[in-house]
Amino acid sequence: MNRLAKMPLFVTASILFGLKTYIIYRFMFNIGLDNTMQEFILFVNPFIAAFVFFGLSVWFKKTSRQLKFIRYAMLIGTLVIYFNLVFYRSFTDFITVPQLFQTSNAADLGSSILSLIKVYDILFFVDVVIVWYLTKRAGAGVQYNRRGKMFALCLSLVLLTGNFFLAELERPQLFSRAFDREYLVKNIGIFYYHIYDAVVHSKVKSQRVLADGNELPEIKEYIQENIRSSKQSELFGLAEDRNIIFISAESLQSFVINNTVNGETITPFLNSLTEDKSTFYFENFYHQTQQGKTSDSEFVTENSLYPSSRGAVFFTHGGNEYHAMPEMLERKDYFSAVFHANNKSFWNRDQIYEQLHVDNFFDKEFYEVTEDNSIGWGLKDKDYFAQSIPYLKELPQPFYSKFITLTNHFPFELGEEDRSIEPYNSNSNTLNNYFPTVRYMDEAIEEFFELLKENNLYENSIIVIMGDHDGISANHNRAMSMYLDKDEITPYDHIQLQRVPFFIHIPGYEEGQVMDTVAGQIDIKPTLLHLAGIDTSDDMYFGNDLFHDDRKGYIGLRNGDFISEDYVSTSGICYDRETGEELTQQSEESEVITPCTEVEELVEKELQYSDAIIYGDLFRFEDFDSNN
- Feature table: binding site for Mn(2+): 250, 294, 468-469
Quick check: helix, strand or coil at residue 38? helix
Residue 402 CB partners (closer than 8 Å, separation 6+): 246, 247, 248, 298, 337, 338, 339
CA distance 575 to 590: 22
CA distance 413 to 434: 8
CA distance 574 to 570: 7
Please report the beta strands in 165-278, taking only residues with DSSP state E, as ranges in sequence order: 243-249, 260-261, 264-265
Contact 527, 556 (CB under 8 A): no
Q: Which residue type does 476 have?
A: H
Q: Which residue type does 34 have?
A: D
Instruction: Give me the helix-helix angle, 597-615 and 190-210, nearest 10°.
Output: 60
Q: Which residue type does 279 have?
A: T
> What letter does residue 37 receive in the DSSP assignment?
H
How many Cα neighbours within 13 Å face the side chain of 260?
A: 4
Nearest to 96 by CA among 210, 186, 180: 180
| 78 is a catalytic site residue | no
CA distance 138 to 472: 51
Residue 566 CB partners (closer than 8 Å, separation 6+): 576, 577, 595
Q: Which residue type does 625 have?
A: D
* Binding site per annotation, positions: 250, 294, 409, 468-469
Nearest to 131 by CA among 297, 18, 249, 38: 18
Catalytic residue among 96, 294, 570, 594: 294
Q: How distant, in Å, are the alpha carbons of 14, 225, 369, 499, 555 from that of 305? A: 44, 17, 34, 19, 12
* Binding site per annotation, positions for substrate: 409
Q: What b/e string do you get for 304-327 counting C-beta neighbours within 10 Å, with b at 16 or more?
A: bbbbbbbbbbbbbbbebebbbbbb
CA distance 25 to 265: 39
Could you list the active site residues? Answer: 294
